[in-house]
């Protein structure tokens, strides 16, 4: 594990609301600074493991589905820190990883029909006297 990934994991695990739960302006500033540093390290690591085209594709995914992009980024970072990634991942390899993820997770598409009551119903005519 290289030093930057160790720092990234340390920074991401040391979040919180300051000492004993007090959330002061100083603690908030420190939390913001910690998150900023963690994001910079994450971006640096992603630039080392992804080609430019793959990063652009991941950025487009993030625009549409931020939670999915976050999941993919975390997975790639864990793969890189465990030594599973030897070379930079190009766009084609990223697409194959995305397909594997999509095939392993069942889609939860749900269609809901909402029927409106029609004010011009013929049933009302039957009750007029």
DSSP 8-state class, residue 114: -
The predicted structure's pLDDT at residue 62 = 92
Q: What is the pLDDT of residue 9?
A: 52
Do residues 93 and 54 make contact, with C-beta atoms less than 8 angstroms apart?
yes
The per-residue pLDDT for 17 is: 45
The whole domain housing 72 covers 3-126
Query: For the residues 45-51, what does the mean pLDDT come to?
Result: 90
Residue owning tokens 């995914």? 61
The answer, yes or no, to whether residue 98 has pLDDT greater than 50, is yes
Domain count, the chain: 1
23 alpha-carbon distance from chain centroid = 26
In angstroms, the CA 22 to CA 27 distance is 8
**What percentage of the chain reaches a pLDDT higher than 90?**
20
d(C-alpha 58, C-alpha 52), whole Å = 10
Is 105 in contact with 67 (CB distance < 8 Å)?
A: no
Question: Which position has the higher pLDDT, 120 or 52?
Answer: 52
pLDDT digits (tens, 9 = 90+) for 78-89: 988 898 888 899
pLDDT for position 18: 44
2 — pLDDT class (breaks 50, 70, 90): low
pLDDT value at residue 59 = 92
Instruction: Write out pLDDT tens, residues 9-29.
Output: 555 444 444 445 556 888 888
Report the mean per-residue pLDDT for the chain. Answer: 78
The enclosing H or E element of 21 equals: none
Q: Return the CATH number at 107.
A: 1.10.8.140
């Amino acid at each position: 594990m290289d030093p930057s990934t160790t720092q990234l994991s340390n920074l991401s695990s040391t979040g919180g609301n300051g000492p004993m739960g007090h959330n002061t302006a100083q603690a908030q500033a420190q939390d913001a600074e910690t998150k900023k540093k963690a994001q910079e390290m994450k971006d640096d690591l992603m630039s080392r493991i992804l080609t430019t085209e793959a990063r652009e594709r991941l950025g487009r995914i993030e625009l549409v589905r931020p939670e999915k992009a976050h999941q993919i980024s975390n997975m790639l970072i864990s793969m890189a820190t465990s030594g599973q990634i030897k070379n930079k991942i190009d766009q084609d390899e990223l697409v194959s990883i995305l397909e594997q993820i999509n095939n392993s997770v069942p889609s939860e598409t749900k269609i809901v029909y909402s029927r409106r009551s029609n004010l011009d119903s013929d049933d009302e005519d039957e009750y007029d006297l």
